[in-house]
Amino acid sequence: MNNMSIRERLSGNEAAATAMKQINPDVVAAFPITPSTEIPQYFSTFVDNGLVDTEFVAVESEHSAMSACIGAEAAGARAMTATSANGLSLMWEMIYIASSLRLPIVMSLVNRAVSGPLNIHNDHSDAMGVRDAGWIMLFSENNQEAYDNLLMAHKIAENKNVMLPLMVCQDGFITSHSIENIELVEDDKVKEFVGTYKPEHYLLNKNEPIAVGPLDLQAYLFEHKAQQAEAMKNAKQVILDVAKDFEKMTGRKYGLFEEYKLDDAEIAIVCMNSTAGTTKFVVDKLREQGVKAGLLKLRVFRPFPVEEIAKALSHVKAIAVLDKADSLNAAGGALFQDVTSAMYVNNIHVPAVNYVYGIGGRDTKADDIESVYTDLSEIVKTGKIDNPYRYLGLRKEGDK
């Protein structure tokens, strides 16, 4: 156990910028957008004060920010950026290009509602819009996890069996702007842990002239997509291996997901990011009342841990999956579909219900979470789910 860690009080954005400072990437290209603006803002002060030797590129849009990261990474440099919501939407074309070119760019995605109508508060619609773009996606309950996930990011993304870009998600304003206690790792330990980027193929290698991003027609694209899919499968073990190394350094343990009082639970919630904190509080309260409630907090959303999730939930009598974005498909949210698909293909049948919640930053309180567990107890008792597609905290007509 490392007793030398530095205790600090930082916001989630400061924590992300601090991780970037310790990583000291070659290039950071960024364009401001609420609520992630502070990350490149803090980082640019580190550049200005000579605390990093990063080339900071102030671009004219988020599309350009991702383009610059792609150019830098393809050239053989380690590149990072940060964005939110509409910024990510503007990058959309380049997000796919980054992953298809197998460039291990690392991005902080501070989750926010994608317009329209315009809303700058938190939900997961931005992340869900790129969930199939070929990026590894890690979610963070609090500032500590956002920081820790960023420290692990390059070791995962740059692994030769992976070579995929990676985004670390955290909830806009809820964690990005709230100040929490945090344990930082010493600079020299981070440096040693992250290591230097040694790409095999890169544009500035004069001994191997290559083209990046050429035309890829019928004869090859299918195979290249299959290779990307294979890399995403490989990422699962690499994420666990890197987490083990990280635990040796810090004593902090990470898996594909966290099981909170799940081993003997009869009813369970599956959720991501900051809502897990509220849910833990409710689980503790219900346990005191003798209710066997549990939580599965997903950390790794891409690659999706199919077998592991099915196994972890196999003994539960009813589950609720909380989605902070709606798929607008009349069939529930993305997380619900992935979880139920995982259970179905592993031949595990547990009654499951979906709650779309917290859209546009709608506050989700302990009472709301408690009402979900109450619904689950009812499902266990009656064996009936009248409607699996539900809303949590939606105002009805006539509500104030």
Please say whether the beta carbons of 119 and 98 come within 8 A: no
Residue 1: the pLDDT is 47
Per-residue pLDDT, averaged over 371-380, amounts to 98
Cα distance between residue 128 and residue 112, in whole Å: 11
For 3-55, the pLDDT digits (tens) are 568 999 999 999 999 999 999 999 999 999 999 999 999 999 999 999 999 99
Element (DSSP H or E) covering residue 183: strand 179-184
Does residue 338 register a pLDDT over 90?
A: yes
3-state secondary structure of 226: helix
At residue 349 the predicted structure's pLDDT band, cuts being 50, 70 and 90, is very high
Q: How much of the chain, in percent, has pLDDT values that exceed 70? A: 99
Does residue 208 register a pLDDT over 70?
A: yes
Please say whether the beta carbons of 260 and 267 come within 8 A: no
Per-residue pLDDT, averaged over 311-334, amounts to 97
Q: Can you give the pTM of this predicted structure?
A: 0.97
Bridge partners of residue 323, in order along the sequence: 356
Q: Which residue from 309, 387, 327, 322 is spatially nearest to 129, judged by alpha carbons?
A: 327
Q: How much of the chain, in percent, has pLDDT values that exceed 90? A: 98
For 133-153, the pLDDT digits (tens) are 999 999 999 999 999 999 999
Does residue 195 register a pLDDT over 60?
A: yes
Per-residue pLDDT, averaged over 101-117, amounts to 97
Please say whether the beta carbons of 95 and 44 come within 8 A: no
For 2-16, the pLDDT digits (tens) are 456 899 999 999 999
For 229-279, the pLDDT digits (tens) are 999 999 999 999 999 999 999 999 999 999 999 999 999 999 999 999 999
Cα distance between residue 291 and residue 285, in whole Å: 9
Per-residue pLDDT, averaged over 311-318, amounts to 98
- For 43, 107, 227, 251, 301, the CA distances from 127, given in Å and listed in that order, are 23, 12, 23, 29, 10
97 phi and psi, to 5 degrees? -65, -40
Per-residue pLDDT, averaged over 330-336, amounts to 97
Q: What is the mean pLDDT of the chain?
A: 97
